Chain A
Amino acid sequence: SQQGEEDPQALSIQEGENATMNCSYKTSINNLQWYRQNSGRGLVHLILIRSNEREKHSGRLRVTLDTSKKSSSLLITASRAADTASYFCATSNTQKLVFGQGTRLTINP
């Protein structure tokens, strides 16, 4: 069963705008990771945030983690058409990653 739940399930914005996706989870975690998946392809790792971290940046990506609320957010700034994809959060508390249902992001030119 999935642990993470992403919100919204689908998001459509104009190129250049910022996109924010949220993830909620249920159990304690060691870390939380975000992955991107282009249609019909494998997943690509974007960023990992440890349970003792609150915020992390990587290029145009910003991830926050609030362990008290069991939630995380992924912000993509200055979106581009190439950012169109599905985005998944994945939590780890033992030896495996448990994925959410994903957010389908569409960037309109």
Chain B
Amino acid sequence: DTGVSQDPRHKITKRGQNVTFRCDPISEHNRLYWYRQTLGQGPEFLTYFQNEAQLEKSRLLSDRFSAERPKGSFSTLEIQRTEQGDSAMYLCASSLAGQGWNTEAFFGQGTRLTVV
């Protein structure tokens, strides 16, 4: 499978616990994105990387959220001290950036987080 891979697919955690999600993009893709999606809504942008550099972070992201892409390959998204409002689907996408942004993004299947 050469698509975008996310792990785990599902995560149930107690409020106050920390969770970490992993995303493996398509190997030659230099851009990697994280989105959050709640039921009945469109994906909301969280952050993106160009290679290992985190170039933009949404104001939606509180200090409890952190993302890394240490070697410009896979990425991790960590949520500290989870709250019930963090329950959502977390989507990762990757793309091969060329001129501008005229390329499609490939999405993983997502990690569904439930905070109880």
- Seen from chain A, the residues whose Cβ lies within 8 Å of a Cβ on chain B are 2, 4, 30-31, 33, 35, 40-45, 48, 50, 88, 92-102
With known contacts A95-B55, A95-B101, A42–B42 Cβ distance under 8 A: no
Q: CA A67 – CA B110 in complex, angstroms? A: 32
Give the interface residue-count category, chain B. 20 to 34
Distance to closest chain B CB from A18 (angstroms): 23
Determine the residue in chain A with the shortest Cβ distance to B103. Answer: A48
Spell out B's residues near A (CB within 8 Å). Answer: 4, 31, 33, 35, 40-45, 48, 50, 55-56, 89, 91, 93, 97, 100-110, 112
A50 in contact with B102 (CB, 8 Å): yes
B3 to chain A, nearest CB (A): 9
| Chain B residue, CB-CB nearest to A89 | B42
Say how far B59's CB is from chain A's closest CB, in angstroms. Answer: 9
